[in-house]
Amino acid sequence: MDKDLRNKIIDIYESSAIDKSLYSSSGLNEQSIPVFVGEWLIDRQLKGGDWTEDVKQQVIGFIHKFMPSKDEIEDLKQKLRNGDSVSVLEYISPKVNLNRDQTYMESGSLGNQKVFVEEFLLNKFPRLLKGGMWGLAIYGYRRNNDGGEVWLNDFKPLQASAIDFEEYVENRSQFSLEEWQQLLINSLGYSAEDKGYGTRQRRQALLTRLLPFVQRRVNLFELAPKGTGKSFLFGQFSRYSRLIEGGAVTPAVLFYNENTKVPGLFTQFDVVVFDEAQTLSFSNPGETVAKLKGYLEQGKYSKGKYTVAADAGAVFIANVQIDAKGLPTNRNNLFGELPEILQESALLDRIHGILPGWNLPRMTTGALSDGVGFKADFLGEIFHFMRSRLEFDRFVEERSYMIGSKDFRDVRAIMRMAAGYLKLLFPNLTDVTDDIYIENCLKPAIELRQRLREQLYYIDPEFKNYEITIEHTKSGIVIPMEEPESEQADLKDFK
C-alpha cells in the first residue's frame, strides 16, 4: 500500500483501522479463529502500541490460556468438579428446549458437554439465540440429585467498540474512489496492488462478494476455480454470515425447526452461504426447493402453521473448470456440473446475478494485504447497519427507468445490486451524479444479471435472450423497491 494512503487512513480512521498483516503474521489463522475475532484480540493487546514480538507472544499466550487443546478436556472437567470456574474462548450458540423448559448449548472445549445457560445472559445478549456469538465463556458446576450440571454463568463477548456510522460516512468524502476501493479491499485482508487485486476487473469481482452484506435479500451465484478465497471471506469476515459447507441440508436448518420451535438460518444471519454447491443435496428436496424458491422471491416461507419473514441473502458458491486463458471451459452452460436441483430455471431466475469468480486471482502470499484497513468487526457492524438505510434504495428507485428491461425480475435484481454497490462505494451519497452511478453501480449490476439471463436462455428456451440496456431518457415510470419487513412485522408473522 502506498505510504501516503496508509498515513491518510490512519489519520482519518485512527480508532477503526488496523494493520491487516498482523492477523496473518500472528498465527491466529492456524487456530481456526475468525478474522473479526483475531483482530479484536490483537487490537485489545496492542492498545495503540507497536506490534513487537512480546505483544505477539502475549496474544498467542491468551489463546493458549483460553482455547484449551483436546488433551485438556478431562482436566477442565475435573476443575469444574472441584468447584473451580473455567473460562474458555469459544463460539456460543444456545438452543431452547420448550418441552423441558430449559436453554442449553454444547461446549466444544469441554468435549461437547451439555451446558445450561443462565436466563439473564439471554436477555443481556439476545444475539446468542440469533446465530450465536464468539466470546469468553465462564462455566461452573452445580451438583444435584442426579449427579451434576455444567452452567454458563457469565459471558464476555468479543465485539467492536461503539460504532460511529456518521463519522464513517462523513469521512468518505476525503478519499477518491480509487483510494476508497483500495481501503475496502485491504479491509478484507487482500492487497489492492498488481499481485493481488490491482485491476478493475478483479476489484469489481471481489467487491461484488460484499453486496449481500450491505443490501437486504441479494441472492448471488459465484462460480470460480479452486483457491480463490471463496469460503474464506464468507466464513471469516463477519459474524453476520453463515457458511454451510456442502452436503445434505434440511428444511429445519434453513427455515424452521418444528420440534425445537427455532427459526432457521435465514432469520439468524444476513447472509447464508452454500459452499461447495456442486456437492449440495437436500433431504426432502421437493419441499426444500419449493420453500427456497418462495423465500428467494418473497423473503417469506411457511413451515407447518408458521409463516416467517426474513431478509438474509442467499449465496451459492461452486467450483468451475477454466481453460488456459482463465475462462470457463463451457461458457454456454456454467451450471452443467451442478446438481439437477440447482439447474432448475425457476430457481435460477430468483438468483439476482452470477459473480464471475474466474476473474479473481488464486490466493497467494502476494495477494494478502500488507497495508492498513478497517478492523473486520468494525466493518462488519457498519455493513450490517447499512442494510436498513433506505435512502440508497430511494436513490436507485428514482433512476429505475434507466434499466432497459421489461422483465420485472430483471429490474428488481438490478435495483438491489445497484443499491448495494452504492452503499459500498458512496456511503455518503454526496456528489454522485447519474454518470458516476451508471458507471460504478448500474453497469456492474446489469452485467451480473445479464450473465444469469444468458444461462437461463441456454437451460430453458422459454426464457428470451436479449441484452439489458441502459436508458438515458426518463420514461416517467418508476418501479419501487419493496419496503423491508420490520422486526415487529416479523414477530407478527408467527401465527
List the chain domain ranges.
Answer: 70-157, 171-492
pLDDT score of 484: 45
DSSP 71: G
Q: For domain 171-492, give the fold.
A: Rossmann fold (3.40.50)
What does the alpha-carbon distance between residue 427 and residue 413 come to, in Å, rounded to a whole number? 20
Predicted model pTM: 0.84
Q: How far apart are CA 130 and CA 419, in angstroms?
A: 26
Distances (CA, A) of 377 to 16, 34, 55, 232, 441: 9, 10, 21, 15, 25
pLDDT per residue rounded down to tens, the chain (495 residues): 889 999 999 999 988 888 888 887 776 766 667 788 888 888 877 766 677 788 888 888 888 888 888 899 999 999 999 999 999 999 898 988 888 889 999 999 999 999 999 999 999 988 788 768 888 999 999 999 888 999 999 999 876 656 889 999 999 999 999 999 999 999 998 888 877 888 999 999 999 999 999 999 999 999 988 888 777 788 778 888 998 887 778 888 888 877 777 788 898 899 999 998 888 888 788 888 888 999 999 998 887 777 888 999 999 999 888 888 888 988 889 998 888 888 899 999 999 999 999 998 887 777 888 889 999 889 999 999 999 999 999 999 999 999 999 899 999 999 999 999 999 999 999 889 999 999 999 999 999 999 999 999 999 989 988 999 999 877 656 666 665 443 333 323 322
- Phi-psi sector, 468: left (phi>0), alpha (psi -120 to 50), beta: beta
pLDDT value, residue 184: 96
pLDDT at 493 (0 to 100)? 34
Residue 407, number of CB atoms within 10 A of its CB? 16
Query: Are 240 and 213 in contact, with CB atoms under 8 Å apart?
Result: yes
SS3 call for 14: helix
Query: What's phi and psi for 107, nearest 5 deg?
Result: -95, 115
pLDDT reported for residue 486: 38
Tell me which DSSP letter residue 438 carries. I
**What are phi and psi for residue 96, nearest 5 degrees?**
-105, 125
SS3 134: strand
Q: In the prediction, which pLDDT does 326 show?
A: 85
The pLDDT of residue 491? 27
Q: How many CB atoms lie within 10 A of CB 428?
A: 13
Q: CA 140, CA 468: separation in Å to the nearest integer?
A: 61
Classify 70-157 by CATH class. mainly beta
End-to-end, the C-alpha distance of the chain in Å comes to 54
| CB contact at 8 A, 395 and 430 | no
User: Do 70-157 and 171-492 share a fold?
Assistant: no
